[in-house]
Amino acid sequence: MNSAEVILMNSGNTNPQGIIKEKAESSAMQDRIGFVSDDSRKQFFFAVREASGVPSWDALAGMFNIYRSQFQKYQYGKTLLPEKLFNSMLALLPKEKQESFSPLILKKSGNWGIVKGGKNNFAKNSDKIIARLREGFQRKVASRELSEPVNFNAPLSEDLCEFIGAFIGDGCTDSYVTKQGKSKYHIQIVGNSVSDKDYLLIKLSSIAKNVFDIDAKHYFRKYSKALNLNLYSKQLFMLLTKRFGFPIGPKTYTVKIPDKIMNSEEKFVFATIRGIFDTDGCVFLDQRKIYNKTYPRISLQTVSEPLFLQLKEFLSKYFPLYAHHNIKRHSYCIEVYGHKQVEKWMKLIGFSNSRNLKKVKACGGDQTLDLHLTKMAFYH
């Protein structure tokens, strides 16, 4: 049995995400995955990017929550892939593609890097050692009993649910150990540094302060148009992962609105959907000549089938929808269209992101938008 076959086998779980979870929890120090040739490595990375449907290598790195510089080391063969990351990438491929790469990979033990560099000083290998410590810490966090009180029974609020929606759209959780041995709990929401700036730095930062009593930090990514909103809080980390059941790390293909919200009052579901569309959705103004005037569409594309099915079932009670599954890209699209339906959306759900509010106003939308835009300007 070759190394690829070992990776693909599991305890009977046919869910790729389940396989990844099992492999992640199987050992404290991950094995490393390499390729028999540069050509096979290139083929693998191009196949994963094509299957993911993302437009760039930067976007693919972001999908796995990896800095582009580190991702390039994997891509160009300077560093072997951690087994967990390899399995996450492999799970994007069709079964026949997965099998085709079986004879093209090789597997090294988890301590391979340390053994190879045993004659070098610690500084040369410190990044790898710390990375493994972080991976082991993440697995411990998932099963650790809470050492700090978290009020899981605190009542839902629209602000809390809107934050949950924004997290579903463009957020992730992470936990790790610093070089000083301190545990860090990290929640991050990413947006466009221009069009989403007000939403991240005003709306979501205000919710973080008012609801969670957290002062959000932010930074603008170099060489990209991304803005990261960072919240460091064990309490919030546990609230998201324990109360609402979000996974630690990547959630792209499995994320959904928590049942605690879906089974609650309608206004809380609306607030969550507002957060999802303000981060991951958009308002598109169709200006083709077939329309007498600009035709608005509120659109969301996702690769999460559970989220797609939830939104499709819930929103179809209030709007006629365009709902489509792109089989080739493994993506799903939901669209609310037309002036009357957009006005109805604004009354039931609305937007908090000025990027979307301005688009709706530009097509002659709801008159109450003037109030929304005035509020956004006030926070400057």
| Mean pLDDT along residues 267-293 | 92
Name which of 3-12, 119-128, 185-194 the model is least confident about: 3-12
In the chain, DSSP finds a helix count (H) and a strand count (E) of 19, 11
Confidence tier at 178 by pLDDT (50, 70, 90) = confident
Mean pLDDT of the chain: 80
Structural domain for 29, as ranges:
3-143
Residue 151 lies in a domain: no
Same domain, 207 and 99: no
Cβ 167 vs Cβ 191: under 8 Å: no
* Backbone CA torsion sign across 347, 353, 356, 359: positive
Confidence tier at 123 by pLDDT (50, 70, 90) = low
> What's the confidence (pLDDT) of residue 17?
44
Q: What is the 3-state secondary structure (H, E, C) of 38-55?
A: HHHHHHHHHHHHHHHCCC
Backbone angles phi, psi at 368, to 5 degrees: -70, -5
Say how far apart CA 87 and CA 21 lie, in whole Å.
9
| Mean pLDDT along residues 305-318 | 96
Same domain, 134 and 163: no
Residue 286 lies in a domain: yes
Say how far apart CA 197 and CA 211 lie, in whole Å.
20
Total domain count for the chain? 2
Same domain, 252 and 277: yes
Same domain, 168 and 58: no
Residue 202 lies in a domain: yes
Is the pLDDT score of 208 beyond 50? yes
Q: Please write the tens of the pLDDT for every residue from 69-118.
A: 888 889 888 888 888 888 888 888 888 888 788 778 887 765 555 445 44
Is the pLDDT score of 339 beyond 80? yes
Same domain, 251 and 366: yes
Say how far apart CA 119 and CA 374 lie, in whole Å.
64
CATH number of the domain encompassing residue 219: 3.10.28.10
Same domain, 122 and 177: no
Token pair for 87: 């399995």
Q: Say if pTM beats, i.e. exceeds, 0.75.
A: no
Same domain, 58 and 205: no
Residue 362 lies in a domain: yes
Residue 62 lies in a domain: yes
Same domain, 359 and 300: yes
